[in-house]
Structure 1
Amino acid sequence: MLSTSDSDRANHLENLDLKQSRSTRLDFDAGNGLHLVVEPHAPGVFRLRCGTPAQVAEDRPAGNRARAVADLLIARHEAVGEAVVEPLAGGAQRGWRVVQGDTVLEVSVDPVCVALYRAGTCVLSSDISRDVPAFAWGGEPPQFWTVGFALDKTEPIYGLGETQGNLNRRDETVLSDDPAHRALPLAWSPRGWGVYANTVQRVEHALGAEAAPSSYLLNIDDPLLDIFLFAGEPGEILNQYSALTGRAGQPVLWAMGAWLEQAPGQSATETAELVARARESRVPLDVVLLAPPAVCQPQDAKLTLDWDASRYPDARQAMALFRRHDAHVCAPVFPGVPADTTAFAELEDRGWLLASDDGDARRFPGVPATGGKPFGLLDLTHRDVATQWSERNHHLLDDGVAAPACSVPVDLPDDITARGGESGAALRTLYPLLARRALFDAVAGHKTPPEGVVYGADLFPAAQRLPWQAGPRVPNSWEGLGQTLRTALSLGASAVPVQMHALGNAAAPLDGMTPELYLRWLAAAVFSGNFSFQGVPQLMPWAFDEETQEHARTWLQWRYRLIPYVLGAIEDAVRTGLPVQRSMALSFPGDTDAHAFDTQYLLGPALLVAPILAPGKSTGVYLPKGEAWWDLNTGWRYEGGTTLTVECGPDRYPVFGREGHMLCLGPAAQHTGEFNSARILDEVWMFGMPVHNPVVMRNKIRVMQMQGSSYIKGLEGLRILPSEGLEVKRRGAEVRISRAR
């Protein structure tokens, strides 16, 4: 991989000869047998590819295997944008302007560099300083590339996957295939640019790191350079990025309810007793997530899956234990085969396990998913293996499993080459993607749009296509609460729609979980994509005093009332790429004061949440500029640009409604099976004069403004709580909101 110390010896792109210009594609001869292709790929999106003529001839690579890999990364290969091409005007530098409306990409030569403009302002440009190459490669022919972009001194960078620290990734170095980095491929800045390197090979993102503090360097271990440049507000960038790489699948309704994670070593009967206790204690619950090991494992070369008889002697009876209490089951599965079984030997003979370079199936050390037993991994790059494994897991649904859970915490060394030819970084990148993809196909089947959840902790390119993402395991402390919140916001900055928050950690010391911390953690989880209880008595609501339990019940009622809104926000993610929990930098890129409050977030478009992350009743809240905000606790209205100190007891939480929006709430329930599908909504809260259509699942509510009033259809039978100074008049199926006289 090329470093800045190697830049003087690198092969730099110096000159370009325009060979063909169309509104959808520019072809350049870049010398040294290389061609550069520039595409206006979509509005505000430009694609740059540089390689041999054969590598850049088509949008998708040649060969069935290469095309299959490309399809895992990109959902829309064909360019849907058009541009006008003009020569650079004035000055001594030669080049071209590729114009898409108010977005322009300038390509110039000597050396080759690019500049991205939005509304006449340059938002991103190549770094052409002496020590940093704009475009350079190493090896003959190219084996890897380095691309350098200039950064302002204080310019922040967001995205690139999970972090438990500062959401601004500036000064970090992120490796795409290092499991410790929890990386995702999109980087963006509130300044108005985004960058995505389209490859399964290793990418090193040096984000103003020590060697080049004023540069964003991408070191890409791929003979083909393939990057996408985005121009726009961060929300627009996530929209175009997810349209390019794939939208989220649609979750089922029951997944929106509270989850319960089975404790390690706990039997199905003991967990069912916890569910029964929850019902008796009026603690709403919908899903039980069974603990590792995997509930079943392959028995033969046909990948026949049998339940672990030592834990589940009668699988259907075990599932019935939970159905009796209206609880769905999410069961752990794993694409591993215990090394001491006949199935391992049979699958090794068939070549269906990942093998070392000597041809023998690799035996991996035991992990929790295998109960600590050594195992081999199914070679999911082999289409027949992936198909069989998907079909076998589909049979679990017949036994009463509602969804699978799968994580692959295995470091795949460089000396493994899969049947499809992938090894090293490419295999480490692709394997968890293939595992989750096969399981999602098993759950979603042929539904349009695809619907279902696969719970897992792995991260990989296009992770946003495959919900449901597990949260981190953190200490039972105020710091742990902050860490789980930051990971959710950082994943949202990479277009992952939902992170599940764990309410505490059963594997960590439990004495730090005070009643105050428990209620603050629960309230934060209520105003999130979703969360799970931990199945140990010390972390269930009834472990605390009666007053704490009553507050917990109130917050849980809030959670179930919010489900139509949160599910509506997830449906928005399917259309727009925006996550449920949206950081201040993502939501208000132009308000730099808001960025400093980096644990605040928008829950969907209408609610501003300021989590309490320290003991005490007081917390600071910043209300972003350009908006007015309504305190859900008091009903008071505040202008944006205001910093408040808010007092909240255990029965309150700092949440503010965004003016012009509505909050549609459902009824309180003990599980989603109690929801009336014909009347999913119960009440509407208004924050000032309604201007925007509300966010709500299967939304059929529409707002129209006329002569200073708002006319709304779709609120039949609902209670309406207008803001102060507004009055409501119903006219048949129509509701009129106007200023009070």
Structure 2
Amino acid sequence: MRLYVEAHAPGVFRFRCDSAARVAAEEKPASRARQRAEMLLARFERIGETTPVAFEEDGRKGWRFEQGDGRLEISVDPVRLALYRGDRCVLSTADVPGAAPFEVVSEAASKAGCGQPFARAAFALPAGEAVYGLGETQGNPDRRGEVVVSDVPAYRALPLAWSPSGWGIYVNTLHRVEHWLGVESSPDQYQIDIEAPALDLFLFVGEPAEILNQYTQLTGRAGQPVLWAMGAWVQQDAQATPVQTAELAERLRAERIPFDNILLSGPAAWSLQGKLALEWDATRFPDARQLMALFHKHSAQVCGYGFPGVPADHPLFEELEDRMWLLADEDGAAHVFPGCAQSAGQPFGLLDLTHREVYALWCERHRQLLDDGLDAPACDVQIDIPDGIEARGGETGAVLRTVYPLLVKRALFDAVAGHKTPPEGIVWSRDLMPAAQRLPWLAGPQVDNTWDGLENSLRAALSVGHSAVPATVHYFGNPDAPVDALDGELYVRWLSCLTFSANFVLQGAEAFLPWRFDESVQAHVRTWLEWRYRLIPYVLGAIEDAARTGLPVQRSMALSFPNDPAAHAWDLQFLLGPAILVAPITAPGEASFVYLPAGDAWWDLNTGVRYEGGQILEMRCDLDQYPVFGREGHMLCLGPATQHTGEFNSARILDEVWMFGMPEHNPVVMRNKIRVMQMQGSSYIKGLEGLRILASDGLEVKRRGAEVRISRAR
């Protein structure tokens, strides 16, 4: 076993303990080994530079690796690791009584001892230090005190952990990883256990935004969703036929309720049939092309569920088993899984997507569905695959549970977006796995129809954003939960909150439609949905920004303001993109409290009043208002109010610009061509031709041809 240390990139160190033979083999990997490595890393080459410097001081000796203001120190006898940001140690290994902070059992040693290969690392967690990331949670975003297991679907795990104090850790493996975060038995330790014969850690140093930037450069970034996906979604009522859902789309248009997309309910709308073709469920879609055209007639795009399973009693099952195209038991026979929602309760076999031909088949057949008029596929396959089941490439156990949903989502994204340059499209899914941040769209959880449910939905979205997943789509309403608490006030507050989110899906069941409520509630619904459509250029710009920076659309206070500890306690507040602060109302009544983060001034979008940061405000908001603030120095670019994105004028996607104090930053907006330049106390802006400009108090606006000059009023 050898220890390898790299300055992998600015602010990124790679710390690896592995066999020399395995590291050498990766220099010229076999094709399957390369495919596995690419599931985790998008950039293999080292782009950082450092020269190891030996040191001996204060009774310690070892090596220092420096780049920029980051420094990694490896001490020997005993072995210790310390990560510095400037002169401040932000992360160090734990003092484990009677043990080293790192332990690696090689495959040879494991076989000799008849044990499981494993690696372990233990880091110190000072009192009060929060740890964020590691996937989705509907509870406290600080994961301290939890255990997170990477390959168990219930944990909703992602592989990046970080702290506002300035460090991040990514475990580079497809094997099972257990994160023990200051649990009761070791409250001052963050212990990482890996069921693999190697330890491969990437250590990040910097602000959380810098960590997400470097993490996504290392592991991959998202493509871009299509414009229509940014409009409101409506989910088919599980009791309704597709024709009845098309009639609902027609009524929504007649009622002037803006929306763009229909999400068909499960089970799977199509399945593999003879000649290995995907065919629509004839009982629900007797003429799929005609049904898709019926939705498109109302300017509605359609997203439907598929599933890479083959019913165990179908004649195709035996054919695919003979070809070895299904996941198999230890005896080589295709494994039969119990029925699930997407298989309509029927036992099934799973396509082995690690097989190159099967992967190509699954991808290509979905392209044919697009020819039938389908606009996007949906698929959830985060199944708890039992140990002992094996794929063609030898993947089994935790590795198979990790890579399977990744392969399914990647194949579907290749089907809808891979032939476009740059890749553009969406796959609707709830699945989480390494590289989830490479896809721009994640469905949020179904929650209770209560005020607590609203909080849980927000926390889930913000927590996956901590691992650089760009956009979480909230479910607005749960048809499988009681609706007694969903009165008009909660309905409007929930909708107004989600107006300022990455996106959301309304329920098509009668209990969740606007006309269940009185005329005043329906008027508020139209107002907030119009606001949503006006925000689309800004929100899509924030997603495009995520492809460049790794920052999600909805950004928590800990992520956005790491140096303002007071802000971290306000775990439901968030930034929408870089410019808009949203303080959700999560209880009945008009009163709410808002914390304005220190270091910036904030402009109330309701009143235009400016407030200094670092204070708590008590606000009162009617149902047509919401606590939303603009960040000083930024701009909010709004589009026109439309009924669907098809009404957008591609030559003029913007309608109005709101300014929060003197503009200093280029705005976030789709297809951004607006540029801000400061000179002699004024801001000169290009790209605002034909737009209405709403400047905040104290500013003077002068147009000079294609340029706008903003200066302080005399």
Whether TM exceeds 0.5 here: the answer is yes
Residue identity in the other structure for 1:461: P
Q: Which amino acid in structure 2 is aligned with residue 584 of structure 1?
A: M
Aligned-residue offset at 1:646: 0.8
Partner of 1:99: 66
User: Residue 123 in 1 paired to residue 90 in 2?
Assistant: yes
Task: Give the match for residue 655 of structure 2.
Answer: 682
User: Equivalent residue for 2:694?
Assistant: 721
Cα contact 1:158–1:169 (8 A) shared by 2: yes
Aligned to 2:109: 141
> 1:157 is aligned with what amino acid?
V
Letter in 2 for 1:339: A
Runs of 5+ unmatched residues, structure 1: 1-33
SS at match of 1:57: helix
Residue 375 (structure 1) aligned to one of 334, 348, 351: 348
Cα separation, 1, equivalents of 2:26 and 2:592 = 52
| 1:461 partnered with 2:434 | yes
Which of these residues, 540, 563, 567, is aligned with residue 567 of structure 1? Answer: 540
Cα distance between partner residues in 2 of 1:105 and 1:194: 13
Q: Aligned letter for 2:372?
A: D
CA-CA distance at 1:409 after TM superposition: 4.2
Give 2:712's aligned residue. 739
In the TM superposition, 1:537-552 aligns within 5 A as: 537-552=510-525
Residue number in structure 2 paired with 1:84: 51
Amino acid at match of 2:305: P
Once the 2 structures are TM-superposed, how far is the Cα of residue 727 of structure 1 from its aligned partner? 0.8
* CA apart distance, 1:60: 5.9
8 Å CA contact 1:303–1:389 kept in 2: the answer is no
Q: Give the superposition deviation at 1:48.
A: 1.3
Larger displacement relative to structure 2 (140-149 or 602-611) = 140-149
SS in 2 for 1:366: coil
How do 1:41-440 and structure 2 match up within 5 A? 41-57=8-24, 62-130=29-97, 133-138=100-105, 140-141=108-109, 143-300=117-274, 302-440=275-413
Q: Does the alignment pair 1:517 with 2:494?
A: no
Residue 132 of structure 1, CA deviation: 5.7
1:91 Cα deviation after fit: 2.5
Contact 2:105–2:197 (CA under 8 A) maintained in structure 1: no
Secondary structure of the residue aligned to 1:95 is: strand
Q: Distance in 1 between matches of 2:325 and 2:638?
A: 50
Deviation at 1:141, TM superposition (A): 3.0
Deviation at 1:511, TM superposition (A): 1.7
C-alpha distance in structure 1 between counterparts of 2:574 and 2:27, whole Å: 38
- Check whether the contact 2:444–2:472 (CA below 8 A) recurs between aligned residues: yes
Deviations 1:439-495 (A, max 9, x none): 000011232221100000010001011131111011100010000000000010011
Does the 8 Å contact 1:291/1:332 carry over to 2?
A: yes
Distance in 1 (CA, whole Å) between partners of 2:439 and 2:282 is 30
In 2, Cα distance between equivalents of 1:726 and 1:121: 42
| Aligned residues of 1:609 and 1:654 also touching (Cα < 8 A) | yes
Aligned residues: 707
How far apart in 2 are the matches of 1:717 and 1:131? Answer: 71
Counterpart of 1:23 in structure 2 is none
Percent identity over paired residues: 64
> Structure 2: how far apart are the matches of 1:316 and 1:586?
45
- What is residue 11 of structure 1 aligned with on the other side? none
Structure 2 gap ranges (5+): 111-116
Shifted more, 449-458 versus 78-87: the winner is 78-87
**1:442 and 1:340 mapped to 2: Cα distance?**
28
Calculate the TM-score normalised by the size of structure 1.
0.94
Contact 1:534 1:540 in 2 (8 A): yes
1:196 maps to amino acid: Y
1:96 counterpart SS class: strand
Structure 2 residue matching 1:141: 3-state secondary structure:
helix
Instruction: Give per-residue Cα distances to partners, 1:82-113, cap 9 Å, x unaligned.
Output: 11321125232221110101111111111222
Cα 1:528–1:61 shift into 2, 3 Å? farther
Distance 1:228 1:590 in 2: 23
Offset, 1:58? 6.0
The question of whether the paired residues in 2 share the 8 Å contact of 1:59 and 1:77 is answered with no
When residues 136 and 705 of structure 1 are mapped into structure 2, their CA distance, relative to the original with a 3 A threshold, is same
1:455, 1:159 → 2: CA distance? Answer: 22
Counterpart CA distance in 2 for 1:61 and 1:405 is: 36
Deviation for aligned residue 1:674: 0.1
TM-score scaled by length of structure 2? 0.98
Displacement of 1:249 = 1.1
Q: Which runs of 4+ in 1 moved over 4 A?
A: 58-61
1:498 CA drift (Å): 0.6
CA distance in 1, matches of 2:109, 2:472: 42
Match for residue 653 of structure 1? 626
Aligned equivalent of 1:592, options 547, 565, 570: 565
Shift of 1:389: 0.6
Q: Does the 8 Å contact 1:684/1:721 carry over to 2?
A: yes
Shift of 1:411: 1.5
CA contact (8 A) 1:299 1:306 kept: yes
Deviation at residue 510 of structure 1 after TM alignment: 1.6
Q: Take 2:68 and 2:506, find their aligned partners in 1: how far apart are those partners?
A: 50
> Equivalents in 2 of 1:443, 1:107: separation in Å?
47
Distance 1:553 1:706 in 2: 42
Contact 1:55 1:61 in 2 (8 A): no
Alignment of 1:503-514 (within 5 A): 503-514=476-487
Partners of 2:76 and 2:86 in 1: how far apart?
23
Q: Partner of 1:401: helix, strand, or coil?
A: coil
The answer to whether the Cα contact below 8 Å between 1:164 and 1:483 also exists between their aligned partners in 2 is yes
Question: Distance in 2 between the 1:624 and 1:356 partners?
Answer: 55
Q: 1:638 aligns with which of 611, 614, 632?
A: 611
Query: Which of 474, 490, 499 matches 2:472?
Result: 499
SS of the equivalent of 1:464 reads helix
On the 8 A contact 2:17/2:104 being kept in 1, the answer is no
Match of 1:532, SS state, is strand
Q: Is 1:667 equivalent to 2:640 in the alignment? A: yes
